[in-house]
Structure 1
Amino acid sequence: MREALPLSAVIRCPSNSVHLPAGIRRQCTTTTRTTIAMSQILVIGASGKTGRHVVTGLITRGATVRAASRTPEKLDLEEVYRVRFDWHDESTWGPAIEGIEGVYLVKPESADVVEVVGRFLEEVKTAGVVRVVLLSEGATQTRPDHIAERHVERVVEASDLEWTILRPSWYMDDLVDEDFFGTMIRNDRVIVMTTGGSATAWIDARDIAEVAAEILVNGGAARQALNLTGPEALTLDQLAKRITATAGPVEGVEESVAEAQKRMRADGLDEGFVTYITRISESIVEGNTAIVTGEVARVTARPPRNIDTFLAEHESQLRPSGKVRSETHAEQALRCARNNEALFRRQISAWAGNKIDDLVDCYASSIVYRDMPFPDEPISGKAAFREHMKGYNALFADGQVEVELVTLTASGTNVVGELRCHARYVGPGAPEEGAPVSWYATLIDTVVDGEIVSEHAYFDPATFDRAVQQVTS
């Protein structure tokens, strides 16, 4: 066991780097940061995806680590104290936190998680613990307070501890995990997700752990929630291409929320888990996981690992383990239909949100677009289509349209979608405050190689005149 090197409880540093003893060097700022002297840190989930790397990060920073597990004798970790800890056996809590200054908290998987974590935090406070880092999950801040994962955060936020909440995006490690994507990538050569065409900023578990270890030992980010991501966000198609470049052909297969729920129920998963995964999928579809942050670099003073580095390191786990089964014609058609449906949903989301660049990205350079009430005025090419849509969205307040998908049918080559639209019309003839308008539209798209090459839009242009007349009459 390597003992922690003695430091004063408070270190004041100038704005330049200060050379500290080996293992606990850090970049200091002009602000005062409290470093725990002779750090004694409890790591819950010490054998988990992040926990084992947190242990390493703490040791390299000079901390004394207490590794917690229900079966501590099975922990294959060096230079740590092993201690039994069971969320469902509260008699194990006291011995685990005795003399501890900081805790890496990985919440339990249980129906009463909020109550359990609440009781644990009370015991932690009584024991004199200074600092807690909670491993949460990405986009939790977008969920209502009564949802379990957000409710746990609120309990931590309400404590008197020096807390930090980590909200990491989806782990790169799940790409090789047997319980996530590992088997399907290696054996079936597909990666199935529900994304709606939105991207995810995948993050390496080691980067999450480095952030946690740095904060637990050296402080910073007190009473803050940090959104942790990798250096770039990738769509499902882009991710599949990156994996293909490293480990051979892999296809990204888009799965709707309903399809995912049906599959999970068929696999015998309980409704609580199905609901939880659905929340994650909906968060991805809404674009919450596509935001790239700089928190990893800010806390650790180095950039996060990129997806290509991770894939290269795990190439052997991504390559086929045996003979790869060929995809049947029916399976290929279904995959194409799902991908085309995802493309359509992304297209409509971009249009409704007035994200013209994202909208145009859904179309081929040779796009031919027709407003069917005006069949003699087709629009050809991306540049002309961009200007047309900019002008069209300018007819509505802030360019925003509320869209409800009434029906949606997709095949390997076409998508047909019926929309019910609501907006405030501010175009020609409208009063200054605009006129509320609702209308139906039907889009018929032809898709080739993941891009819309033609689109026919059916709607009644007289709807807008009637809306203005109702307001002004």
Structure 2
Amino acid sequence: MSRILVIGASGKTGRHVVAGLVSRGATVRAASRNPEQLDVTGADTERFDWHDESTWGPALDGVDGVYLVKPESADVVKVVGRFLDAVKAVRATRLVFLSECAAQTRPGDVTERQMELAVESSDLEWTILRPSWFMQDIVDEYFFGPMVRDDRIIVMTTGGSATAWIDARDIAEVAAEVLVNGGAAGQALDLTGPDALTLDQLAERITAVADSPVTGVEESLREAETRMRADGLDEGFVAYMTRIAESIIAGETATVTGEVERVTGRPPRDIDAFLAEQAGQLRPSGKARAEMDAEQTLQRARDNEALFRRLISAWARTDLDDLIDCFADDMVYTDMPFPDEPVRGKAAFREHVKRYNALFADGQVEVEFVTLVATSTNVVGELLCRARYVGPGAPEGGVPVRWYATLVDTVMDGRVVSEHVYFDPTAFDKAVAQAA
């Protein structure tokens, strides 16, 4: 039975490596600087601190293989070099090292490549994993999570190139399979998800499950470096992130590979499934959600007011096409003085308006807004209308008439679904009587 030490057992991949190893029947030692905080099932826990070499021996005692994630350290290459010597000293044979996409393209004097070279020069049965960007970074609180959830943007430097995002669980499955069942010794595996997405495509996928739009914001290398320095990040980290961005721009993250399926026997998870699973973390929360809801409600009210003004303008100038376009196909119109005669559907409403406007000279009505109140679902407008009435009883040439009308409209999806009109029809009879 394999006995495997997992370094960084609380990390994005480490905790899933532990689960994958346990499911394959391995004896697992989950290592962390704070082992009491580990939540692992079927594994032993062990304290391991990169900065306290006295913890290395007990963690390595009796193991056959190691899952290695590099530490955060100023002299990381030297530290890992000493650790690899300790691994060989206990006669462990297998090593899976988590590197990163395109590390092999970088100069030999940068940390990412130096780490790989240190692993390659060891006498162990090593396998290097070079995964593309983690899907988990999209919701990570220390990465894209807050900007996606609360700012509704995702900022990257891509130069228009794509990235084949991968689920950390698929990386872990590859690691567990190699550590338990062997294979891929002396190889570097490029791991990706099944699709490569541009920044705009990624934003579209997130938007599809996030309740409201998320926009991809392209940031130039210079802009990114300026922002990071303004945030107080040290020059080493700025240079590291710049190298990553340069890899994306060069198209080194855009290639989709079949390594996950080749090693594990099943295809990698796609990003749509991941985003659907994480939908709750992609939606605004707390104050940001309340502010967004309030702004959306206010904007719908503005849109509804604009629709109502357009509707009244079209009616007053007898532009029937523009008027009818303001209504939903299944609209219902009711003249409240005649509530038993509602008009249903656009075709019937068009004929109704034709007959009504024929009561006025040239079909023209002058309209003045007295009161207008709009909400996210309704509009109420009080209108003062003036026209020359030429309908039944009017003298030749017609008679001037003025009347007040109140319209109550219900709006859904940018169209009026119902309109109730309140007015006094005797205003026309009084105008005719006065003219006589």
Length-normalised TM-score, structure 1:
0.61
User: Which residue identity lines up with residue 303 of structure 1 in the other structure?
Assistant: P
5 Å-filtered alignment, 1:236-275, equals 236-247=199-210, 248-275=212-239
Cα deviation for residue 60 of structure 1 reads 0.3
Cα deviation for residue 109 of structure 1 reads 1.0
Paired residue for 1:176, among 124, 135, 139? 139
Task: State the alpha-carbon separation in 2 of the partners of residues 125 and 184 from structure 1.
Answer: 44
Task: State the alpha-carbon separation in 2 of the partners of residues 69 and 223 from structure 1.
Answer: 27
5 Å-filtered alignment, 1:172-251, equals 172-247=135-210, 248-251=212-215
Task: For residues 283-313 of structure 1, give each alpha carbon's deviation from its aligned partner in whole angstroms, at most 9, with x where no partner exists.
Answer: 1011100011000000000000000000000
- Other-structure match for 2:84: 121
User: Which residue identity lines up with residue 246 of structure 1 in the other structure?
Assistant: V
- Other-structure match for 2:128: 165
Task: For residues 117-176 of structure 1, give each alpha carbon's deviation from its aligned partner in whole angstroms, at most 9, with x where no partner exists.
Answer: 111101100101010000001110110111101101001000110000000000000000
Preserved contact between residue 70 and residue 86 of structure 1 (Cα < 8 Å):
yes
Task: State the alpha-carbon separation in 2 of the partners of residues 190 and 303 from structure 1.
Answer: 30
Task: State the alpha-carbon separation in 2 of the partners of residues 82 and 124 from structure 1.
Answer: 18
- Other-structure match for 1:33: none
Task: For residues 228-252 of structure 1, give each alpha carbon's deviation from its aligned partner in whole angstroms, at most 9, with x where no partner exists.
Answer: 0000100000000011111131000
Task: State the alpha-carbon separation in 2 of the partners of residues 291 and 256 from structure 1.
Answer: 22
Paired residue for 2:10, among 47, 54, 60? 47
Paired residue for 1:112, among 54, 72, 75? 75
- Other-structure match for 1:143: 106
Task: State the alpha-carbon separation in 1 of the partners of residues 139 and 155 from structure 2.
Answer: 14
- Other-structure match for 1:323: 290
- Other-structure match for 1:61: 24
Task: State the alpha-carbon separation in 1 of the partners of residues 208 and 42 from structure 2.
Answer: 39
SS in 2 for 1:312: helix
Preserved contact between residue 131 and residue 161 of structure 1 (Cα < 8 Å):
yes
SS in 1 for 2:129: strand
User: Which residue identity lines up with residue 169 of structure 1 in the other structure?
Assistant: S
Preserved contact between residue 161 and residue 250 of structure 2 (Cα < 8 Å):
yes
Cα deviation for residue 325 of structure 1 reads 5.6
SS in 1 for 2:141: coil
Task: For residues 217-238 of structure 1, give each alpha carbon's deviation from its aligned partner in whole angstroms, at most 9, with x where no partner exists.
Answer: 0000000000000001000000
Task: State the alpha-carbon separation in 2 of the partners of residues 242 and 184 from structure 1.
Answer: 16
Preserved contact between residue 155 and residue 218 of structure 2 (Cα < 8 Å):
yes
Task: State the alpha-carbon separation in 1 of the partners of residues 261 and 108 from structure 2.
Answer: 29
The answer to whether structure 1 residue 291 and structure 2 residue 255 are counterparts is yes
Preserved contact between residue 189 and residue 324 of structure 1 (Cα < 8 Å):
no
Task: State the alpha-carbon separation in 1 of the partners of residues 231 and 266 from structure 2.
Answer: 41
SS in 1 for 2:290: coil
Structure 2's unaligned 5+ residue stretches are 296-436
Task: For residues 404-463 of structure 1, give each alpha carbon's deviation from its aligned partner in whole angstroms, at most 9, with x where no partner exists.
Answer: xxxxxxxxxxxxxxxxxxxxxxxxxxxxxxxxxxxxxxxxxxxxxxxxxxxxxxxxxxxx
Cα deviation for residue 77 of structure 1 reads 1.2
Preserved contact between residue 19 and residue 41 of structure 2 (Cα < 8 Å):
no
Return the structure number with greater helix share. Answer: 2
SS in 2 for 1:272: helix
Cα deviation for residue 216 of structure 1 reads 0.3
Cα deviation for residue 262 of structure 1 reads 0.7
Identity value in percent: 73
Preserved contact between residue 188 and residue 324 of structure 1 (Cα < 8 Å):
no
Task: For residues 239-283 of structure 1, give each alpha carbon's deviation from its aligned partner in whole angstroms, at most 9, with x where no partner exists.
Answer: 000111111310000000110111111111111111111110111
- Other-structure match for 1:25: none
- Other-structure match for 1:276: 240
Preserved contact between residue 189 and residue 249 of structure 1 (Cα < 8 Å):
yes
Cα deviation for residue 323 of structure 1 reads 3.3
The answer to whether structure 1 residue 87 and structure 2 residue 28 are counterparts is no
Structure 1's unaligned 5+ residue stretches are 1-37, 329-473
SS in 1 for 2:91: coil
SS in 2 for 1:302: coil
Preserved contact between residue 53 and residue 210 of structure 1 (Cα < 8 Å):
yes
Cα deviation for residue 74 of structure 1 reads 1.0
User: Which residue identity lines up with residue 236 of structure 1 in the other structure?
Assistant: L
SS in 2 for 1:323: helix
Length-normalised TM-score, structure 2:
0.66
Task: State the alpha-carbon separation in 2 of the partners of residues 279 and 325 from structure 1.
Answer: 36
Q: Which runs of 4+ in 1 moved over 4 A?
A: none
User: Which residue identity lines up with residue 315 of structure 1 in the other structure?
Assistant: A
SS in 2 for 1:246: coil
- Summarize the Cα distance change of 1:303–1:139 in structure 2 as closer, same or farther, 3 Å threshold: same
SS in 2 for 1:291: coil
Task: State the alpha-carbon separation in 2 of the partners of residues 290 and 75 from structure 1.
Answer: 35
Task: Give 1 or 2 for the bigger CA radius of gyration.
Answer: 2
User: Which residue identity lines up with residue 98 of structure 1 in the other structure?
Assistant: D
Task: State the alpha-carbon separation in 2 of the partners of residues 125 and 197 from structure 1.
Answer: 44
Cα deviation for residue 57 of structure 1 reads 0.2
